[in-house]
Amino acid sequence: MNDILLNQIFDILNRNKLSHAILIESGDEESRLNVAKRIAQAIVCSSEYKPCNSCSNCKKAAGDVHADIALFEGGTTVGSFKVDFVREISRDAAILPNEADRKVYILNRAETMSVSAQNALLKILEEPPAYVSFILSVPSKSAMLPTVLSRVTVYSLTEEVTSYSADAVKATETADSVLSAVIKNNELELLKIATEFEKDKNALKMCCAEIYRICSEALISKLTDKDSENPELALSLSSAKLIKITEICDEIINSANANMNGNLLATLFCSKLIS
């Protein structure tokens, strides 16, 4: 489920850099809404590294029963997301959160907002309460007024890859090999793996996303004394090293999205991991 994008957003959130208002575009409606709900879960998570998927806030969010996450949806026609919905959001936003530190409003099918609704939304986007976050879901950002777009951070979904696809299995296997080489400080093995990415940037992005996930899980296990899915990794690498690896993966994914040359990407990936 767009793991690369989600991992990037989680990283930004954990660095306290996530905008109070974000817009999810592209993909199908179900995918956009699922991503929005996962982001909302991370925002209300009570753990230091979010989302932990274990705290009460995470569990309630996963079950769509969290009191501080509100879903508002438009219909199938333009204008069906009415200004009254936005006014209701504005009134509710003035009330402090019930359980979490923040309140999250998911605006699904925001493209069906009337102009008056978008203008009303703009007012609260400009001066929101400090504890409020907004997640807008639209097929394309072009459906929103430029003034609204100027107040949100836009994220575009990537093409879905099922978790059981051959590419995903390969990414997991390669990620395990990379981390094994890091633990053993085996520079030659890392160089060998890196050459596989020179002509396949997508494989590198998928591998980095999986490494990011594994290292994040290992870091959480070290900080909370929870059992890790990769005990060797959690025991062998310090918290600082695990954080550094996630930062490297984030940088590589961003560089790949910026169309950096494949050879340079592979070299950068390897050199940073062994530095």
Domain ranges of the chain: 3-156, 166-270
How far apart are the C-alpha atoms of 151 and 96, rounded to whole Å? 22
Residue 166: the pLDDT is: 60
Averaged over 158-168, what is the pLDDT? 49
Q: What is the mean pLDDT of the chain?
A: 87
pLDDT of 163 above 60: no
In the prediction, which pLDDT does 258 show? 74
Q: Each residue of 138-153: pLDDT tens digit?
A: 998 888 988 898 889 8
Give the pLDDT confidence of 183-232 residue by residue, as tens digits.
998 988 988 888 888 878 878 887 887 888 788 878 877 777 667 677 88
pLDDT at residue 20, rounded to an integer: 93
With H, G, I as helix, E, B as strand and everything else as coil, classify residue 135: strand
Q: Rounded to the nearest 5 degrees, what angle is found at the Cα of 95, between the Cα atoms of 89 and 101?
A: 100
DSSP count for the chain of H helices, then E strands: 12, 5
* Diameter over CA atoms, the chain: 62
pLDDT band at 26 (very low <50, low <70, confident <90, very high): confident
Q: What are phi and psi of 152, to 5 degrees?
A: -125, 160
Mean pLDDT on 104-115:
94
pLDDT tens digits, one per residue of 261-271: 888 888 888 88
| pLDDT band of 168, cuts 50, 70, 90 | low
Answer yes or no: is pLDDT of 251 > 60.
yes
Determine the average pLDDT of the residues in 243-257: 84
What are the pLDDT digits (tens) for 55-98? 999 999 999 999 999 999 998 888 899 999 999 999 999 999 99
Write the DSSP assignment of 198-237 as a string of letters: TT-HHHHHHHHHHHHHHHHHHHHHHHHTPPPSSHHHHHHS
Q: What is the pLDDT of residue 164?
A: 37
Residue 38, pLDDT > 70, answer yes
CA distance 264 to 262: 5
Q: What is the pLDDT of residue 199?
A: 79
Topology (CATH) of 3-156: Rossmann fold (3.40.50)
Lowest mean pLDDT of 4-8, 42-46, 154-158, 224-228, name the range. Answer: 224-228
